[in-house]
Amino acid sequence: MKLGDIFLNHNKKSSPQDESFQNKRIKGKEIWVYIIFGIWAIINLFPVYWMFTFSLKSNEEIFGTNVAGLPKEWLWSNYETAMGSGNMGKNFLNSTLIAIVTIAIVMLFSLMATFALTRFIWKGRKRMNNFFMLGLTIPIHAAIVPIYVTLSKMDLINSYLALIIPYAAFSLAMGILICTGFMQELPIDLDEAACIDGCSTWGIFFRIIVPLMKPAVATVSIYTFLQCWNELMFATIFISDSVHKTLPVAIQALSGTYATNWGPIGAALVLATFPTIIFYVFFSKKIQDSFIAGAIKG
Amino acid sequence: MKKLYSNKLTIILFILPALLLFLLILVAPIFISGYYSLYDMNGFGKKAFIGLENYGELFTSSSIGFVKALGNALLLALLSVAVQLPLALGLALLLGKGRKGERGFLSIYFMPVLISTVVIGQLWLKIYNPSYGLLNVVLRTLGLDSLTKIWLGNLHTALGAVFVPILWQYVGYHMLLMFAGIKSVPPEYREAAMIDGATEGQVNRYIVLPYIKPILKICTIFAVTGSLKSFDLIYVITNGTPLHATEVPSTLMISMLFLRNRYGMGSTIAFLLIILCFAFALIIGRIFKDKED
């Protein structure tokens, strides 16, 4: 669908006409629109704000004197408790490691496959592409039991690979979809020039194509990162020892331990969320585009 | 060049890693799940062929409660289409007109999508906490003590209470897709309609909505299949309690597998879910196609 390109570029062409007829229509009505926007913004932001504030409060404040305000006394020790006894540091590293390796695999495999699917001339490449796109609709439920059974046979339960392999597989379709969009835009003349200069296929791929695919790499990495970072179902089932736990699973466990002590849980929630939020602050457009790109074809 | 790019061996080498991963982890398990669903398996070596008995038991046994769980998931699907999507569409239409600050609002509305479902679930658990939760505290402060409830422990409110965060979290997602669609409507279309005297409502109805129909179709498919598959938030917030009131097929599947070691039955639920998702995606695609003609 060609629409995809239009959507991704919509920001570049903000037309002057838009504003001219908008100006005529500024009336009292506009204020209501902004009130609606404001209310919905509060509904979206408030839980996050509340999380940040109660992560810094004592039980006393949370449970009585100061439920929703800013903390009177900023209790950073909640974070120490969460990091220390909850072993959050280790879980944080696990999640990071799994995300990075998954991203690397998805990136390499989908760039290679996309190269074969867009540059090479062969029968059935269109069909192969459609086949990969099926991956966008296959629910992860399909994989749970067979993969669990296989992993236990191979003694891979409670290992990083138990999560990395399925995460990579389930992000692959999106990786190929996004890479295809970007690779089709690279002129074939580049390949021809490199070929004349004596580059082999691998040379063209690694020296010409891959370096030019940076925007695709960014988009795919963001998408894959969010998929791995937040995933719960596989992570709960395939990992049961504390050494390999990822953040979401660790938080689940921690909330059981600190059922009555909300501060440290709040701190853990903030720790798990802030990398995503920081990313989002700097790359909001890119992150949104990666979600749009997936949906247009999905 | 042509020769370089039609070398069969190179093609295979480039496509093989992705294809293998894809076949082994995504495609094969669907068939294996289907195969397992015909067996009575416990994961410790016991494996007996029982034909379609799992399916029969699933739909008739009231102790498993699959019908109820499926009903819950379908109710969630209905609510997504009836509440979540219209809300998203309304906001997207308001935002998409080119108002000041649209990107800022868009970014705020999309944020919940990025936050881990565990975090969101834990937060809402705290919001619903009967003694100290935000919801009851606010009700008490307003003097509405009679309305305070044990939201997640009450058979009548638990299901609604877990649905709220699920619906809330993904409004921003659908809104983002619709917003992108609305932004791609060529401004000339809009302007021509305005010159012809169309009101804002008419422009939306006759220009924007038909133009973004492919997006609306995708959003509907995502909303419905997403509801059928929903797991994370329910698992974190109630995990099916109280008394299976908030059970959905996915939570049931997990408890079959890892609490009762019934791998065959778990596979049956997984397989049914896959089929349902594909079927609904096809049906929704068909509905939207009919309307196009």
Residues B34-91 pLDDT 10s? 999 999 988 777 788 888 988 999 898 888 889 999 999 999 999 999 999 999 999 9
Q: Do B231 and A63 touch (CB under 8 A)?
A: no
Whether residue B41 lies inside any domain: the answer is no
Q: Supply the pLDDT for residue A4.
A: 43
| pLDDT tens-digit readout, A67-121 | 777 888 788 888 888 887 667 888 899 999 999 999 999 999 999 999 999 999 8
Whether residue B133 lies inside any domain: the answer is yes
Whether residue B143 lies inside any domain: the answer is yes
Contact B63, B213 (CB under 8 A): no
Residue bearing tokens 């983002």: B176
Count of domains observed in chain B:
1
CA distances from A139 to A64, A102, A142, B214 (A): 43, 19, 6, 21
Q: Is A111 an interface residue toward B (CB < 8 Å)?
A: no
Structure tokens belonging to residue A238? 């395939």
ipTM above 0.85, yes or no: yes
Q: Which carries the bigger pLDDT value, residue A44 or residue B200?
A: A44
Q: Supply the pLDDT for residue A27.
A: 63
Q: Do B250 and A262 touch (CB under 8 A)?
A: no
Write down all domains in chain A, each with its CATH number in brackets: 12-78 (no CATH), 86-297 (1.10.3720.10)
Contact A178, A290 (CB under 8 A): yes
Please state whether beta strands B39-41 and B47-49 pair in parallel, antiparallel, or not at all (unpaired): antiparallel
Instruction: Give chain A's residues under pLDDT 70.
Output: 1-27, 65, 85-86, 294-298
| pLDDT tens-digit readout, A260-279 | 788 888 888 998 898 888 88
Q: Do B14 and A45 touch (CB under 8 A)?
A: no
A93 sits in which H/E element = helix A88-118
Q: Do A67 and B134 touch (CB under 8 A)?
A: yes
Nearest CB to B21; choose among A137, A144, A172: A172
Q: Do B25 and A108 touch (CB under 8 A)?
A: no
Residues recorded for chain B: 293
Cα–Cα distance measured from residue B103 to residue A281, given in angstroms and rounded to the nearest whole number? 12
Q: Supply the pLDDT for residue A275.
A: 85
Whether residue B163 lies inside any domain: the answer is yes
Q: Do A143 and B25 touch (CB under 8 A)?
A: yes
Q: Give the range among B10-14, B180-184, B185-189, B239-243 with minimum mean pLDDT.
A: B239-243
Letter string b/e over residues B218-243, b meaning 16 or more CB atoms within 10 A of that residue's CB: bbbbbbbbbbbbbbbbbbbbbebeee
Strand partners, B49: B39
In chain A, which residue's Cα lies nearest the Cα of B20?
A169
Whether residue B272 lies inside any domain: the answer is no
Nearest CB to B119; choose among A205, A249, A272: A272
DSSP assignment of chain B equals -TTGGG-HHHHHHHHHHHHHHHIIIIIHHHHHHHHHTTEEE-SSS-EEE-TTHHHHHHHH-TTTTHHHHHHHHHHHHHHIIIIIHHHHHHHHHHHTTT-TTHHHHHHHHHHHHHS-HHHHHHHHHHHH-TTT-HHHHHHHHTT-GGG---TTTSTTTHHHHHHHHHHHHHHHHHHHHHHHHHHTS-HHHHHHHHHTT--HHHHIIIIIHHHTHHHHHHHHHHHHHHHHH--HHHHHHTTT-STTTT--HHHHHHHHHHTS--HHHHHHHHHHHHHHHHHHHHHHHHHHHHHH-
Whether residue B21 lies inside any domain: the answer is no
Q: Supply the pLDDT for residue B18.
A: 96
Q: Is B164 an interface residue toward A (CB < 8 Å)?
A: no
Tell me the pLDDT of chain A averaged across its residues: 84
In chain A, which residue's Cα lies nearest the Cα of B5?
A120
Reported confidence tier of residue B3, pLDDT bands at 50, 70, 90: confident
Q: Do B110 and A288 touch (CB under 8 A)?
A: yes
* Residue ranges of B 27-56 with Cβ closer than 8 A to chain A: 27-30, 32-33, 36, 43
B211: containing domain:
72-248
Whether residue B3 lies inside any domain: the answer is no
pTM of the model: 0.87
- Give the count of beta carbons closer than 10 Å to the beta carbon of residue A197: 10
Q: Do A63 and B132 touch (CB under 8 A)?
A: yes
Tell me the pLDDT of chain B averaged across its residues: 90
- Measured in angstroms, the CA of B155 and the nearest CA of chain A are apart by 22
Q: Which chain A residues have a beta carbon less than 8 Å from that of B196?
A: none
Nearest CB to B15; choose among A116, A191, A284: A116
- What's the CATH code of the domain at B83? 1.10.3720.10
Q: Do B1 and A195 touch (CB under 8 A)?
A: yes
Residue B31 has pLDDT above 90, yes or no: yes
Whether residue B106 lies inside any domain: the answer is yes
